[in-house]
Amino acid sequence: MTQPEEKRVRQTLEPYHLQLLDAVLRGYQEWREIRRFKIENGFGTALYPRTDANEIFDAVVRNAMALFADDPEVRIVQEPQTVKFCFSGQVLLRFKKGDEANLGRNLKTQAVLDFVSAQGTLPGLPPEAAKVEVLYSSSELGDAIESVLVVARDGDQLLWHYELSDIVDESSVVPLLRSAPDRFTDDEPLVKPRNPDQDTGRGKKD
Protein backbone atom coordinates (compact mmCIF):
# COMPACT_ATOMS: atom_id res chain seq x y z
CA MET A 1 0.00 0.00 0.00
CA THR A 2 1.72 3.16 -1.22
CA GLN A 3 1.82 6.75 0.03
CA PRO A 4 -1.03 7.72 -2.33
CA GLU A 5 -3.05 4.96 -0.66
CA GLU A 6 -2.28 6.48 2.74
CA LYS A 7 -3.59 9.82 1.47
CA ARG A 8 -6.79 8.17 0.24
CA VAL A 9 -7.30 6.42 3.58
CA ARG A 10 -6.76 9.64 5.53
CA GLN A 11 -9.17 11.57 3.32
CA THR A 12 -11.85 8.88 3.56
CA LEU A 13 -11.55 8.47 7.33
CA GLU A 14 -11.10 12.14 8.21
CA PRO A 15 -14.83 12.72 8.94
CA TYR A 16 -14.76 9.67 11.25
CA HIS A 17 -11.51 10.18 13.17
CA LEU A 18 -13.25 11.45 16.30
CA GLN A 19 -15.78 8.60 16.25
CA LEU A 20 -13.04 5.99 15.82
CA LEU A 21 -11.19 7.37 18.83
CA ASP A 22 -14.49 7.71 20.69
CA ALA A 23 -15.29 4.02 20.14
CA VAL A 24 -11.98 2.94 21.66
CA LEU A 25 -12.22 5.25 24.67
CA ARG A 26 -15.84 4.38 25.40
CA GLY A 27 -15.14 0.67 25.07
CA TYR A 28 -12.16 0.89 27.40
CA GLN A 29 -14.13 2.96 29.91
CA GLU A 30 -16.95 0.41 29.82
CA TRP A 31 -14.48 -2.39 30.59
CA ARG A 32 -12.98 -0.40 33.49
CA GLU A 33 -16.39 0.27 34.99
CA ILE A 34 -17.35 -3.41 34.79
CA ARG A 35 -14.03 -4.40 36.38
CA ARG A 36 -14.57 -1.86 39.16
CA PHE A 37 -18.06 -3.26 39.79
CA LYS A 38 -16.67 -6.79 40.04
CA ILE A 39 -13.95 -5.76 42.47
CA GLU A 40 -16.33 -3.76 44.66
CA ASN A 41 -18.75 -6.67 44.84
CA GLY A 42 -16.18 -9.34 45.57
CA PHE A 43 -16.30 -11.12 42.21
CA GLY A 44 -12.59 -10.77 41.52
CA THR A 45 -10.85 -10.03 38.24
CA ALA A 46 -10.16 -12.21 35.21
CA LEU A 47 -7.62 -15.02 35.63
CA TYR A 48 -6.08 -14.65 32.19
CA PRO A 49 -4.97 -11.55 30.22
CA ARG A 50 -6.72 -12.88 27.10
CA THR A 51 -10.05 -12.61 28.93
CA ASP A 52 -9.52 -8.89 29.50
CA ALA A 53 -8.33 -8.47 25.90
CA ASN A 54 -11.48 -10.15 24.57
CA GLU A 55 -13.76 -8.08 26.79
CA ILE A 56 -12.10 -4.82 25.77
CA PHE A 57 -12.31 -5.77 22.08
CA ASP A 58 -15.98 -6.66 22.45
CA ALA A 59 -16.76 -3.35 24.15
CA VAL A 60 -14.81 -1.31 21.58
CA VAL A 61 -16.51 -2.97 18.62
CA ARG A 62 -20.00 -2.71 20.12
CA ASN A 63 -19.48 1.00 20.72
CA ALA A 64 -18.22 1.44 17.16
CA MET A 65 -21.28 -0.38 15.79
CA ALA A 66 -23.56 1.95 17.76
CA LEU A 67 -21.69 5.07 16.59
CA PHE A 68 -21.81 4.13 12.90
CA ALA A 69 -25.18 2.35 12.81
CA ASP A 70 -27.08 5.26 11.23
CA ASP A 71 -24.41 6.42 8.79
CA PRO A 72 -25.35 5.42 5.22
CA GLU A 73 -21.69 5.70 4.14
CA VAL A 74 -20.55 3.07 6.64
CA ARG A 75 -21.29 -0.59 6.03
CA ILE A 76 -20.99 -2.79 9.12
CA VAL A 77 -20.04 -6.39 8.34
CA GLN A 78 -20.60 -8.62 11.36
CA GLU A 79 -18.86 -12.00 11.22
CA PRO A 80 -18.57 -14.88 13.71
CA GLN A 81 -15.17 -13.77 15.05
CA THR A 82 -14.90 -10.08 14.18
CA VAL A 83 -16.64 -7.04 12.74
CA LYS A 84 -15.43 -5.03 9.76
CA PHE A 85 -16.41 -1.48 8.82
CA CYS A 86 -16.41 -0.34 5.19
CA PHE A 87 -16.27 3.45 4.70
CA SER A 88 -17.68 4.79 1.42
CA GLY A 89 -16.50 1.63 -0.34
CA GLN A 90 -12.95 3.01 -0.09
CA VAL A 91 -11.59 1.82 3.25
CA LEU A 92 -12.16 -1.48 5.02
CA LEU A 93 -11.31 -1.26 8.70
CA ARG A 94 -11.24 -3.42 11.79
CA PHE A 95 -10.27 -2.79 15.42
CA LYS A 96 -7.44 -4.73 17.05
CA LYS A 97 -5.21 -4.67 20.09
CA GLY A 98 -1.77 -3.51 18.97
CA ASP A 99 1.62 -5.00 19.77
CA GLU A 100 5.07 -3.49 20.21
CA ALA A 101 5.66 -3.47 16.45
CA ASN A 102 2.44 -1.48 15.79
CA LEU A 103 0.76 -4.54 14.28
CA GLY A 104 -2.51 -6.15 15.26
CA ARG A 105 -2.37 -9.32 17.33
CA ASN A 106 -3.90 -12.19 15.39
CA LEU A 107 -4.27 -15.92 15.19
CA LYS A 108 -3.17 -16.68 11.66
CA THR A 109 -6.38 -18.06 10.22
CA GLN A 110 -7.02 -17.86 6.49
CA ALA A 111 -9.45 -15.00 7.03
CA VAL A 112 -6.80 -13.07 8.93
CA LEU A 113 -4.17 -13.75 6.27
CA ASP A 114 -6.54 -12.48 3.57
CA PHE A 115 -7.15 -9.28 5.51
CA VAL A 116 -3.54 -8.46 6.39
CA SER A 117 -2.29 -9.16 2.88
CA ALA A 118 -2.18 -5.87 0.98
CA GLN A 119 -3.22 -7.66 -2.24
CA GLY A 120 -5.77 -10.00 -0.66
CA THR A 121 -9.48 -9.64 -1.39
CA LEU A 122 -12.43 -10.53 0.82
CA PRO A 123 -15.67 -12.11 -0.44
CA GLY A 124 -18.54 -9.67 -0.76
CA LEU A 125 -16.40 -6.60 -0.05
CA PRO A 126 -15.04 -4.02 -2.52
CA PRO A 127 -11.73 -5.32 -3.93
CA GLU A 128 -10.52 -1.73 -4.39
CA ALA A 129 -10.98 -0.86 -0.70
CA ALA A 130 -7.78 -0.23 1.26
CA LYS A 131 -7.56 -2.48 4.33
CA VAL A 132 -6.41 -0.93 7.58
CA GLU A 133 -6.58 -1.62 11.30
CA VAL A 134 -7.35 0.74 14.16
CA LEU A 135 -4.95 -0.42 16.85
CA TYR A 136 -5.30 0.47 20.50
CA SER A 137 -2.54 -0.08 23.04
CA SER A 138 -2.74 0.25 26.81
CA SER A 139 -0.11 1.31 29.32
CA GLU A 140 2.10 -1.28 31.00
CA LEU A 141 -0.20 -1.27 34.03
CA GLY A 142 -3.26 -1.68 31.83
CA ASP A 143 -4.86 1.36 33.46
CA ALA A 144 -5.14 3.62 30.40
CA ILE A 145 -5.15 3.71 26.62
CA GLU A 146 -1.71 4.84 25.51
CA SER A 147 -2.23 5.17 21.76
CA VAL A 148 -4.78 4.68 19.00
CA LEU A 149 -3.30 4.21 15.53
CA VAL A 150 -4.56 3.73 11.99
CA VAL A 151 -2.22 1.13 10.51
CA ALA A 152 -1.62 -0.39 7.07
CA ARG A 153 0.32 -3.62 6.79
CA ASP A 154 1.27 -6.33 4.35
CA GLY A 155 1.49 -9.56 6.26
CA ASP A 156 3.95 -8.97 9.10
CA GLN A 157 5.35 -5.82 7.50
CA LEU A 158 4.26 -2.38 8.71
CA LEU A 159 3.66 -0.12 5.70
CA TRP A 160 2.62 3.12 7.38
CA HIS A 161 0.59 4.44 10.28
CA TYR A 162 -0.66 7.61 11.90
CA GLU A 163 -1.92 8.34 15.41
CA LEU A 164 -5.49 9.49 15.90
CA SER A 165 -4.77 11.42 19.10
CA ASP A 166 -2.33 13.58 17.13
CA ILE A 167 -4.92 14.83 14.66
CA VAL A 168 -8.23 14.81 16.54
CA ASP A 169 -9.24 18.15 18.07
CA GLU A 170 -8.24 17.77 21.71
CA SER A 171 -11.14 19.91 22.91
CA SER A 172 -13.56 17.38 21.41
CA VAL A 173 -11.93 14.43 23.16
CA VAL A 174 -11.41 15.79 26.67
CA PRO A 175 -14.91 14.85 27.96
CA LEU A 176 -14.19 11.23 27.00
CA LEU A 177 -10.92 10.99 28.90
CA ARG A 178 -12.43 10.73 32.36
CA SER A 179 -12.23 7.22 33.71
CA ALA A 180 -14.40 5.53 36.28
CA PRO A 181 -12.71 5.22 39.69
CA ASP A 182 -11.31 1.82 40.53
CA ARG A 183 -8.24 0.51 42.31
CA PHE A 184 -6.24 3.11 40.38
CA THR A 185 -6.49 6.85 41.11
CA ASP A 186 -9.90 8.40 40.61
CA ASP A 187 -8.63 11.10 38.27
CA GLU A 188 -6.56 8.78 36.05
CA PRO A 189 -7.22 9.68 32.35
CA LEU A 190 -8.14 7.05 29.81
CA VAL A 191 -5.41 8.33 27.50
CA LYS A 192 -1.96 8.77 28.99
CA PRO A 193 0.63 11.10 27.44
CA ARG A 194 3.33 9.05 25.76
CA ASN A 195 6.85 9.38 27.11
CA PRO A 196 8.70 11.61 24.60
CA ASP A 197 11.70 9.31 24.80
CA GLN A 198 9.62 6.28 23.84
CA ASP A 199 10.07 5.11 20.28
CA THR A 200 6.69 4.82 18.59
CA GLY A 201 7.92 4.30 15.07
CA ARG A 202 5.66 7.23 14.12
CA GLY A 203 6.11 8.29 10.56
CA LYS A 204 8.18 5.22 9.71
CA LYS A 205 7.44 3.64 6.39
CA ASP A 206 8.91 0.29 5.47
Nearest to 102 by CA among 157, 37, 60, 49: 157
pLDDT tens, residue by residue, 151-192 = 998 887 888 999 997 776 654 553 444 443 444 444 445 555
198: pLDDT confidence band, cut at 50, 70 and 90? very low
pLDDT tens, residue by residue, 60-107 = 999 999 999 999 999 999 988 889 999 999 999 999 988 675 565 665
Does the model's pTM come out above 0.85?
no
pLDDT tens, residue by residue, 109-132 = 655 666 666 666 777 788 888 999
